Amino acid sequence: MEFISQKAKGLKQGAIRAMFDRAGTMTNVISLGIGEPDMATPQLVCDAATEALHKGITHYTPNAGTLDFRKAIAAKSYLKDIGYDPAREIIVTNGGMGALSLLFLVLLEEGDEILIQDPQWLNYVAQVEYCGGKAVRVPTDKAHNFIMQPETIEKLITPKTKALMINTPNNPTGSVMDEETMRQIAEIAVKHDILVISDDVYNTLLYDGAKNTCIAAFPGMKERTAVVNSLSKSYAMTGWRIGFVAGPAELVSAMTKCQENFNACANAPGQYAGTVALAHPELCEELRKVFENRRRLLLDGLKGIKGIESNDPKGAFYVFADISSFGLSSADFCNRLLDEQKVVCIPGSAFGACGEGFIRIAYTCSDSDLAEAVARIKTFCESL
Ligand SMILES: Cc1ncc(COP(=O)(O)O)c(C=O)c1O
């Protein structure tokens, strides 16, 4: 008897995980590969979770999440001006990934198409395909700082297109979509009657005057946008698994039924602590400032390395750097960098064909490690 489904067998280990497994067998490695803040969750938030445990907030919550937390999301987050009804239009999920998987579970019929940027964090593709959908990649390029172009999107829309994913600031590029491009994409979504899934998990991490714009705020968009967010990156809470979706009531209701049947709810103390976190946006700002300094350190350091050219990353904690001048594939470059200089970077090809020739560098380590890593990358590049 074959126990495991073909579908499950088709799931692959991501290239990022594979790099970490290799690095795990070595010593003295500096990782610029990790997609999560390295700092501790703010004390205030930890204290709130401890209080929740002592108060006995250790039981199931409503499937859509506690009303207190949903009210905080509606009233205190960046969504407050759009105006979501916490009782009907918000669901709390197991992080952003839990939000995305519930979304694809309730949205997709066999063969439905979802437009996904290339390069892009690949979990989207894995989830869409697992749920029977087809991931259609939207090519982007360095000339446009890896921002999806409205005309390219429009050409790829077919009668089977159900949704377009946008992710700004973006993983892996750190690029931030400008407001005008977003407006044009919103118009295309309305014209072709498609849903937009807006993954905003990095939207508190913005630099150089970049602005946070949510596509749901454009005319006709609130009713066709599923906003996905989490506290993972903004409050250094990746392990807490607290995220949410704000969207049309019908969609939230379907997701809530799915959550009831699949995983009941997000963890109760985390929701309690999350409610406190949202009342303290200054905690996000403290984190952002740390990353802002590191970003400067990294970009300045890369400028001093002949052959490497960075993109213009105005958000998240990633730089997407062009290494094509060395004539190596991005996988060969990263493997050799790890073997010869013990630095982990992620090959751009891990995020799609358009990422070939680039590497993702995450500035999620201490300033001193970052400075040492840049020195090692320089030595490596000079040896090529
Ligand atoms: C673009 C993007 N979306 C969503 C997530 C998921 O975040 P979480 O599930 O921790 O909230 C990640 C994590 O790396 C990400 O990079």
pLDDT at 29: 96
Contact between residue 257 and residue 263 where contact means Cβ atoms under 8 Å apart: no
Report, as an integer, the average pLDDT of 235-262. 98
Model pLDDT, residue 97: 97
What pLDDT band is residue 202 in, cutting at 50, 70 and 90?
A: very high
Give distance in angstroms: CA of 348 to centre of ligand 1: 17
What is the DSSP pairing of strand 225-230 with strand 243-246? antiparallel
Do 171 and 203 share a structural domain? yes
The span from the CA of 311 to the CA of 52, in Å, is: 43
Query: What gap in Å lies between CA 217 and CA 233, rounded to an integer?
Result: 22
Q: Which of 121, 125, 267, 318 to mutate to test the pocket of ligand 1 (most atoms within 8 A of CB)?
A: 121
Q: Which atom of ligand 1 is nearest to the CA of 229?
A: 11
Do 221 and 186 fall into the same domain? yes
Q: Which protein residue has the closest C-alpha to ligand 1 atom 4?
A: 96
Whether residue 215 lies inside any domain: the answer is yes
First to last CA, the chain: 52
**103 and 67 in a common domain:** yes
Q: How far does residue 382's CA lie from ligand 1's centre (Å)?
A: 34
Q: What angle do CA 228, 97, 122 make, to 5 degrees?
A: 100
pLDDT digits (tens, 9 = 90+) for 5-36: 999 998 887 778 888 888 989 999 999 998 89
Q: Ligand 1 within 6 A of 245 CB?
A: no
Q: Where are the alpha helices (DSSP H) in the chain?
A: 6-9, 15-23, 43-54, 67-76, 95-107, 123-130, 150-156, 179-192, 249-262, 268-278, 282-303, 330-341, 367-383
| 92: its two tokens | 């709390």
Tell me, yes or no, whether 259 and 200 share the same domain: yes
What is the whole-number distance in angstroms between the Cα of residue 2 and the centre of ligand 1? 33
Which of 92, 173, 201, 231 is the pocket-test mutation for ligand 1 (most atoms within 8 Å of CB)? Answer: 201
pLDDT of residue 314 exceeding 80, the answer is yes
Tell me, using a 6 A CB cutoff, whether residue 127 lines ligand 1. Answer: no
Single residue among 242, 265, 280 that ends a domain in this structure: 280
Question: Mean pLDDT across the stretch 270-295?
Answer: 98
**CATH number, residue 192:** 3.40.640.10
121 CB within 6 A, ligand 1 = yes
Using most ligand atoms within 8 A of CB, pick from 232, 238, 263, 364 the residue to mutate for ligand 1.
232
Return the SS3 of 230. strand
Q: What is the pLDDT of residues 38-73, one digit of tens each?
A: 999 999 999 999 999 999 999 999 999 999 999 999
pLDDT beyond 80 at 102: yes
Residue of minimum CA distance from atom 5 in ligand 1: 96
pLDDT at position 233: 98
- Mutation test residue for ligand 1: of 16, 41, 91, 123, the one with most atoms within 8 Å of CB: 123
Q: Is the CB of 174 under 6 A from ligand 1?
A: no
Does residue 290 share a domain with residue 371? yes
Assess if residue 93 is contained within a domain. Answer: yes
The pTM of the full predicted model, rounded to 2 decimals, is 0.97
pLDDT (mean) for 155-161: 98
Does the pLDDT of residue 298 top 80, yes or no?
Answer: yes
Q: What is the pLDDT of residue 52?
A: 98
Residue 128 Cα to ligand 1 middle (Å): 15
Total structural domains within the chain? 2
Q: Are strands 358-362 and 318-322 parallel, antiparallel or unpaired?
A: antiparallel
CA distances 160 to 57, 247, 252, 356, Å, are 44, 21, 22, 28
What would the DSSP string read from start to end of 246-309?
E--HHHHHHHHHHHHHHT--S-HHHHHHHHHHHT-THHHHHHHHHHHHHHHHHHHHHHTSTT-E
State the average pLDDT for the chain: 96
Res 76: pLDDT: 83
- Name the helix (H) or strand (E) containing 320: strand 318-322
Q: Residue 234 pLDDT more than 80?
A: yes
| Domain edge (last residue) among 251, 280, 309 | 280
Contacts of 25 (CB under 8 A, 6+ apart): none
78 and 108 within one domain: yes
Contact (CB, 8 A) for 166 and 136 = no
Q: Is the preceding omega at residue 159 within 30 degrees of 0, hence cis?
A: no
Per-residue pLDDT at 140: 98
Q: Provide the residue type at 22 as one letter.
A: R
> Is residue 1 assigned to a domain?
no
Together in a domain, 124 and 229? yes
Same domain, 79 and 210: yes
Portion of the chain with pLDDT greater than 90, in percent = 93
Parallel, antiparallel or unpaired: strands 346-347 and 358-362:
antiparallel
Listed residue (378, 364, 206, 360) closest to 303, CA to CA: 378
Tell me the mean pLDDT in the region 317-333: 97
Among the atoms of ligand 1, which is closest to the Cα of residue 100?
A: 4
Token pair 């919103």 in the structure block, residue:
186
Residues 324, 373 within the same domain: yes
Output the CA 45–ligand 1 centroid distance in Å: 20
Within a domain: 29: yes
366 class by beta-carbon count within 10 Å (0-12 exposed, 13-18 middle, 19+ buried)? middle
261 in a structural domain? yes
Residue 186 lies inside a defined structural domain of this protein = yes
167 ligand 1 Cβ < 6 A: yes
Q: Last residue of a domain, which of 280, 310, 325?
A: 280
CA distance 302 to 304: 5
Nearest CA to ligand 1 atom 13: 35
131 and 265 share one domain? yes
**Contacts for 90 with CB less than 8 Å, ≥ 6 apart:** 64, 65, 70, 73, 74, 84, 244, 245, 246, 252
pLDDT of residue 378: 98
CATH of the domain at 364: 3.90.1150.10
Element (H, E) at 197: strand 195-199
pLDDT band at 82 (very low <50, low <70, confident <90, very high): very high
Work out the pLDDT band at 226, boundaries 50, 70, 90: very high
155 against 16, higher pLDDT: 155
Residue 12: predicted pLDDT: 82
Residues 247, 288 share a domain: no
Please check whether residue 30 lies inside any domain of the structure.
yes
CB 97 within 8 A of CB 14: no
Same domain, 308 and 336: yes
**Ligand 1 centre and the CA of 201: distance in Å?**
6
Identify the domain containing residue 29 by its residue range: 6-41+283-383
Centre of ligand 1 from the C-alpha of residue 333, in Å: 26
Q: Taking 80 as the threshold, does the pLDDT of residue 99 lie above it?
A: yes
Is-contact 102 88, C-beta < 8 A? no
